[in-house]
Amino acid sequence: MSLLEQSATESLQLLRQGKLFAVELTQAHLDRISTADDKIGAFLRVDAEGALARATEIDRRRQAGESIGKLAGLPVAVKDVLCDSATRTTCASRMLENFRPPYDSTVVAKLKAADAVLIGRTNMDEFAMGGSTENSAFQLTRNPWDLERAPGGSSGGAAACVAGQMAPLSIGTDTGGSIRQPAGLCGVVGLKPTYGRVSRYGLVAFASSLDQVGPLAHSVEDAALLLEAIAGHDPLDATSLDQPVPTFTTTLHQPLEGLRLGIVREHFAEGLDNEVEKSVREAIGVYKSLGAEVKEISLPHSKYAVATYYVIAPSEASSNLARYDGVHYGHRTKRESDLVEMYCRTRAEAFGPEVKRRIMLGAYALSAGYYDAYYLKALKVRRLIRQDYDAAFEQVDLIAGPVTAEPAFKIGQMSDDPLSMYLVDLYTVSANLAGLPGISVPCGITSSGLPIGLQLQAAPLAEETLLRGAQMYQSQTDWHRHRPSDP
Amino acid sequence: MAISRDDVEKVALLARLELSEAEVVSLTTELAQIVAYVDQLAEVDTEDVEPMAHAVEVHNVFAEDIVEPSLPREQALANAPNQNGRGYLVPPVLGD
Amino acid sequence: MSQTYTTVIGLEVHVQLATQSKLFCRCSTQFGAEPNTQTCPVCIGMPGSLPVMNRQAYQLALKTAIAINCEIPAFTKWDRKQYFYPDLPKGYQISQFDLPMSQDGWLDISDPKNRFEPRRVGITRAHLEDDAGKSVHDEAHGRADSEIDLNRTGTPLLEIVSEPDMRSAAEAKAYMQELRLLLTHIGVSDCNMQEGSMRCDANVNLHIDTPDGKVATPIVEIKNMNSFRAVERAIEYEAERQHRAWLETSTKMGDVPKQTRGWDDTAGKTLPQRSKEDSSDYRYFPDPDLVPVLSTPEEVESVRAALGELPADIRKRLSDEHSLSAYDADVLVNQGRDVLQYFTAAAEASGDYKAACNWITQDIQRVLKEKDQSIDEFSISSAQLADLITAVAEGKLPKSRSKDAFELMHADSMEVAAAIEKLGIEQVDESALVGLCQELLDANPKIVADVQGGKQQAIGSLIGQAKKKNPNVDPGQFRRLCLDLIARQR
Ligand SMILES: [Mg+2]
Ligand SMILES: [Zn+2]
């Protein structure tokens, strides 16, 4: 099996056994990037030199028998939204085109401590606002399965670089589905942890109460490996959970005895693509065959999730993005006159249309006279959505369903229809609102050759159950082994 | 609640965004659309429901009062579009 | 036609809490550092940075809130107050909106000189928030850019909002002084108005009696008052200004939006300030990066218990238990914590509170003023003052010479004993003194006769002669002995 095809877990074994060198593995992925990425456009910046230097150093330390990190020698791509003092953090925005953070995000620091080889920074929707990566100020990212189609988003680069075999592991962020949706559309595994499981320190905020960092990989096993490395309590993030992190990789292969699997009635309503529905139902069949008890459940408020999300997320975003005012960092207009004009022009010049739209929406929802009707109302519905889940997880261990209603859509298909773009998040936003973990695993391929994703959700902090449940499925199927043909 | 051109202009100033005429027009329709969709929340009965501002509800998280080194000034100012080595420079601010 | 009016004043006081590090990051709060040398990603509001609340800042805020008799709700949270300003790098201040950490308190004020009746000023709320940076604008260069310094950004502030309960500039000043006395006493802030660790905005308007009932003038918020004197002058000026304005325009509350005026200390005027554009809509909402704080009645009680005796209690104790006049007690306590400690030590060691109070409020205060010293720089220790008081009480030092001894003690930092010796004071033993009295009486039969004729004061003329023969003669003792001798002669 080629270096690109083998899983990160397999590579790690070989690295440990000295049968593989970090430099070889890194070089193989760098070569792949140079042949494939000008067509796919997953990376905003690739650090070939730095990556090879780190890989060489790691090989040296391993041979010298020095202590070495958990991911030692594995290439990892990072979404360009997590601060790394070694490079710029642009959030795919003109606003931060030249921003060099003087500090490392906790996740990047943990990756460095684990001796991961950080090979490059992946493309995304500007400030993670979007579901297609078309909102990047710098470039399009194309779906490796069909270059005419979008990879999804906002972590489109993160999903595409794994699907395109340019990185075995990558880090994304998920505020309303931004890891699970592109993972589903690109046929890779993507996990959004429990809110607070992974530190947000150094993650450039979109919607602070919804943002979570998570892994993307080819297999559940690889996702578990990467999650283990980045999870854990962080005193620098007041919302980080002070809870022990299980060693997911050790329990991963233990099937869940007497698994109770919930199917959400509302998830199979109209609007769901037939091929997607078929694959998801087949996946549920696999669980049945493994002896799982399948129960139909209801999440009565889930139909309000998108509306709730599009009040809360833009409200927080309008506030989080107020700091980009051309004074302390980032873009500043050349046409400045008085202070207010300087602000208005700086922000008008450097924010893209979707970012402006959400800032406007959020500022409106929070402004005098509308707060109660929109923001406060949404916070209350949010609790009802959470209570639906609490009730559901009394009856079931995992909830299974589609990630998206349809497979990957054509680039440009929805760019002039914001609302329909927002509705793509239909099945994913609830997990962010409720703070619970969710995973997307490949579960089929359409007649037109596009991947289909199965979403599993678990109770807060039940990542171990989530991963073991997902592994049960992958142990029976090989959808996760399919790769797109070379672009 | 219908959203008017006036609302858009008022909010744009609040948010410090200079909008072109075209943007004002398109945002007025787009926001109206989205707000109309969001208005369905009104039908949910939220009587005696506590607002949920955080995804997980933790409380009393503190750091100890111990001074740690600050950034060297050059590093603090390094990303500023206009600075003089001592401070950030902006068009005149009147009063304090 | 001029009507009588009442000035109605409410104060919004911001005090910096005395923490080592900032409210949401670990940068130093030290005053006066070089611009932008005490900042980090968090207080610069850099992308990705997150705030974590300083435990000590919350504790000091809680202590203060309890000391000003506030209720402490079981649940409190922090909200974002949003507006654009270059000294506000995040684009919002982290403050408290609808659920502040404390509310419904009060502070009693009174005036030793009775310029106003004692009054209980209501406190609406006290909440914890972060401070902004500073914009330095060089007016000289007209349109030159402003320079922003973020060292102060993120310093913990307690905002204390009073009810509109004060009725004169003197009351407002007294409220500020009592607040500073209390806060410095419990050690939560140094309340230095010059350095800005205590700042005050005043809301002022008038209630005017007119033939057709009371009328309220528009409320004006006064800013930039950087001393207690300034608070007093600004409010006096503003009250008169509003009265004049009323006579000219008779504009009432509600006719015009609330206006902000700045105090110009050199001009001695309040001048209209252009307020920040549309700052009216702050779009408050709960800060998702910070979590709520819950507190139990037990915690609140333990903080209250640890507060100890507060200035108001001490005043009461001094007049009730140690028979100081209310005025003396007030003057003494108002000197602040250090003087009070000095007093207590001297009073307890000598057992004479009244004497200790007199020495401190008269002679010591005088010297400290002259030398512009603080009590702990003063050359006479509280123990030495106690010795001085005791020496007088035991007659080792005639009261008449005690000030001379005091001078020697603080000028040449002598012990009492040394000072007494330097003054050549030794106790004259009684028999020797009796001899001297007899001698002088024999030499002055006329005086003896006068005394016997009932003119006791005649003895006075002998005291001079006695002192010539022996400088240590205590006039009181000499008079007493002479009178005894004369009485025995008959
Ligand atoms: Mg305030
Ligand atoms: Zn700081």
pLDDT (tens digit per residue) in C61-111: 999 999 999 999 999 999 999 999 999 999 999 999 999 999 999 999 998
CB C244 within 8 A of CB C204: no
> Which residue of B57, B67, B70 is in closest CB contact with C37?
B70
Interface chains of chain B (3 or more CB pairs under 8 Å): A, C
What lies within 8 Å, CB to CB, of A25 at 6+ separation is A3, A11, A15, A55, A73, A74, A75, A117
**Per-residue confidence at B93, pLDDT binned at 50, 70, 90?**
confident
- A192 tagged catalytic: no
In this prediction, residue C3 carries a pLDDT of: 65
Here the tokens at position C471 are 């400088």
Ligand 2 centroid – CA C50 distance (Å): 10
Q: Given an 8 Å threshold on Cβ–Cβ distance, is A435 in contact with B55? A: yes
Q: Which residue has the tokens 């606002």?
A: A129
Strand order of the β-sheet with B88-90 is B88-90, C146-149, C134-137
CB C483 within 8 A of CB C457: no
Ligand 2 centroid – CA C225 distance (Å): 28
- Mutation target vs A (from C134, C285, C291; most A CBs, 10 A cutoff): C285
Q: Given an 8 Å threshold on Cβ–Cβ distance, is C47 in contact with A205? A: yes
Q: How far apart are CA B57 and CA A382, in angstroms?
A: 13
Tally Cβ neighbours within 10 Å of residue C289: 23
Task: For B30-80, give the DSSP string.
Answer: HHHHHHHHHGGGGGS--TTPPP--SSS-----EE---------HHHHHTT-
Return the bridge partners of C213, or none.
C210
DSSP state of A168: S
CB C355 within 8 A of CB C362: no
Chain A contact present for C154, CB below 8 A? no
Q: Is the pLDDT score of A24 beyond 60?
A: yes
Q: Which long-range contacts (CB under 8 A, 24 or more apart) does C396-404 make?
A: C396/C420, C396/C425, C396/C427, C397/C425, C398/C425, C398/C474, C398/C475, C398/C476, C400/C475, C401/C425, C403/C363
Q: H-type helices in C204-270, by residue range?
A: 228-249
Length of chain C measured in residues: 490
Query: For A214-231, what is the mean pLDDT?
Result: 98
Q: Given an 8 Å threshold on Cβ–Cβ distance, is A359 in contact with B17? A: yes
**Per-residue confidence at A186, pLDDT binned at 50, 70, 90?**
very high
Q: Given an 8 Å threshold on Cβ–Cβ distance, is C289 in contact with A325? A: no
Residue A484 C-alpha, separation from nearest chain C C-alpha, in angstroms: 35
Q: Is the pLDDT score of C479 beyond 50?
A: yes
Here the tokens at position C178 are 């009592």
Residue type, C20: Q
> Which residue of B18, B35, B44 is in closest CB contact with A348?
B18
- Of the listed ligands, the closest to the CA of C159 is 1
Contacts of B14 in chain A (CB under 8 A): 363, 367
In this prediction, residue C193 carries a pLDDT of: 94
> Which residue of C54, C147, C293 is in closest CB contact with B60?
C293
Q: How far apart are CA A79 and CA A424, in angstroms?
A: 21
In this prediction, residue C11 carries a pLDDT of: 98
CB B16 within 8 A of CB A340: yes
Residue type, C95: S
Mark out chain B residues that contact chain C at CB-CB < 8 A: 13-14, 16, 53-54, 57-68, 70-71, 73, 76-77, 79, 82, 84, 86-96
Contacts of C20 in chain B (CB under 8 A): 65-67
Q: Is the pLDDT score of A107 beyond 50?
A: yes
The four Cα atoms A13, A116, A44, C43 give a dihedral, to 10 degrees, of 150
Instruction: Give the containing element (helix H, strand E) for A433.
Output: helix A429-434
Chain B contact present for C327, CB below 8 A? no
Q: Indicate the average pLDDT of chain A.
A: 96
Q: Phi, psi (5° rounding) for residue A399?
A: -115, 130
CB A210 within 8 A of CB A317: no
Contacts of A356 in chain B (CB under 8 A): 17, 19, 23, 27
- Residues around ligand 1, an ion, CB closer than 5 A: C 159
Return the bridge partners of A372, or none.
none
CB A190 within 8 A of CB A431: no
Here the tokens at position A50 are 């730095």
Burial status of residue C424 (CB atoms within 10 A of its CB: 0-12, 13-18, 19 or more): exposed
Q: Phi, psi (5° rounding) for residue A404?
A: -135, 160
Interface chains of chain C (3 or more CB pairs under 8 Å): A, B
pLDDT (tens digit per residue) in B70-87: 999 999 999 999 999 999
Q: Is the pLDDT score of C41 beyond 90?
A: yes
The four Cα atoms C45, C47, C48, C54 give a dihedral, to 10 degrees, of 0
Contacts of C144 in chain B (CB under 8 A): 92
**Per-residue confidence at C440, pLDDT binned at 50, 70, 90?**
confident
- Of the listed ligands, the closest to the CA of C133 is 2
Q: How far apart are the first and last CA of chain C?
A: 81
Query: For B24-42, what is the mean pLDDT?
Result: 96
Instruction: Give the containing element (helix H, strand E) for A173.
Output: strand A169-174
ipTM for the assembly: 0.97
- Residues around ligand 2, an ion, CB closer than 5 A: C 25, 27, 40, 42-43
Length of chain B measured in residues: 96
Q: Phi, psi (5° rounding) for residue C141?
A: -85, 20
Here the tokens at position A102 are 């003087």
Q: Which of A93, A178, A279, A430 is catalytic?
A: A178
Chain B contact present for C291, CB below 8 A? yes
Q: How far apart are CA C394 and CA C115, in angstroms?
A: 40
Q: How many CA atoms lie within 13 A of C403 on its CB side?
A: 6
β strands within C17-165, DSSP E: 53-54, 75-76, 79-82, 92-95, 102-109, 119-130, 134-137, 146-149, 156-162
Q: Is the pLDDT score of A116 beyond 50?
A: yes
Q: Is the pLDDT score of B96 beyond 70?
A: no
What lies within 8 Å, CB to CB, of C8 at 6+ separation is C164, C166, C167, C204, C205, C206, C207, C216
Chain C contact present for A86, CB below 8 A? no
Burial status of residue C453 (CB atoms within 10 A of its CB: 0-12, 13-18, 19 or more): exposed
What's the Cα-to-Cα distance from C99 to each of A60, A379, C72, C73, rounded to whole Å?
A: 57, 16, 10, 8
Cis peptide before A289 (omega within 30 of 0): no
Strand order of the β-sheet with A451-458 is A43-46, A117-122, A75-79, A169-174, A212-217, A189-192, A438-445, A451-458, A398-402, A260-264, A293-297
In this prediction, residue C1 carries a pLDDT of: 44
> Which residue of A235, A376, A419 is in closest CB contact with B51?
A376
Q: Which residue has the tokens 């030199």?
A: A49
- A170 tagged catalytic: no
**Per-residue confidence at C278, pLDDT binned at 50, 70, 90?**
very low
In this prediction, residue C461 carries a pLDDT of: 82
Identify which of A165, A230, A164 has the alpha carbon closest to the alpha carbon of residue A192.
A230
Residues above pLDDT 70, as percent of chain A: 100
pLDDT (tens digit per residue) in C296-336: 999 999 999 999 999 999 999 998 988 899 889 988 999 88
Q: Which residue has the tokens 């792949």?
A: A32
Q: Indicate the average pLDDT of chain B.
A: 94
Q: Given an 8 Å threshold on Cβ–Cβ distance, is A89 in contact with C84? A: no
Identify which of A179, A54, A53, A32 has the alpha carbon closest to the alpha carbon of residue A111.
A54
Query: For A66-85, what is the mean pLDDT?
Result: 97
Q: How far apart are CA C73 and CA C292, in angstroms?
A: 12
Check residues C464 and A404 and name the one with the higher pLDDT: A404
- Of the listed ligands, the closest to the CA of C199 is 1
Q: How far apart are CA A469 and CA C294, in angstroms?
A: 37
Q: Given an 8 Å threshold on Cβ–Cβ distance, is A310 in contact with B51? A: no
Q: How far apart are CA C99 and CA C103, in angstroms?
A: 9
Q: Is the pLDDT score of B95 beyond 50?
A: no
What lies within 8 Å, CB to CB, of A323 at 6+ separation is C45, C47, C89, C90, C91
- A219 tagged catalytic: no
In this prediction, residue C276 carries a pLDDT of: 54
Strands C156-162 and C5-16: antiparallel
What lies within 8 Å, CB to CB, of C81 at 6+ separation is C92, C93, C94, C95, C97, C129, C282, C284
Residue C67 C-alpha, separation from nearest chain A C-alpha, in angstroms: 29
Task: For A98-143, give the DSSP string.
Answer: T---SS--HHHHHHHHTT-EEEEEE--SGGG--SSSTT-SS----B
pLDDT (tens digit per residue) in A139-173: 999 999 999 999 999 999 999 999 999 999 999 99
Where is average pLDDT lowest: A207-221, C371-385, C422-436? C422-436
In this prediction, residue A429 carries a pLDDT of: 97
pLDDT (tens digit per residue) in A347-405: 999 999 999 999 999 999 999 889 999 999 999 999 999 999 999 999 999 999 999 99
Q: Given an 8 Å threshold on Cβ–Cβ distance, is B67 in contact with C84? A: no
| Whole-angstrom Cα Rg for chain C | 31
Q: Given an 8 Å threshold on Cβ–Cβ distance, is B44 in contact with A377? A: yes
Q: Given an 8 Å threshold on Cβ–Cβ distance, is A383 in contact with B81? A: no
Chain B contact present for C427, CB below 8 A? no
What lies within 8 Å, CB to CB, of A361 at 6+ separation is A310, A314, A318, B31, B34, B35
What's the Cα-to-Cα distance from A45 to each of A49, A50, A105, A431, rounded to whole Å?
A: 12, 12, 18, 31
Here the tokens at position A44 are 């905003």
Q: How far apart are the first and last CA of chain B?
A: 38
CB A150 within 8 A of CB A108: no
In this prediction, residue C141 carries a pLDDT of: 58
Residue A417 C-alpha, separation from nearest chain C C-alpha, in angstroms: 28
Tally Cβ neighbours within 10 Å of residue A34: 12
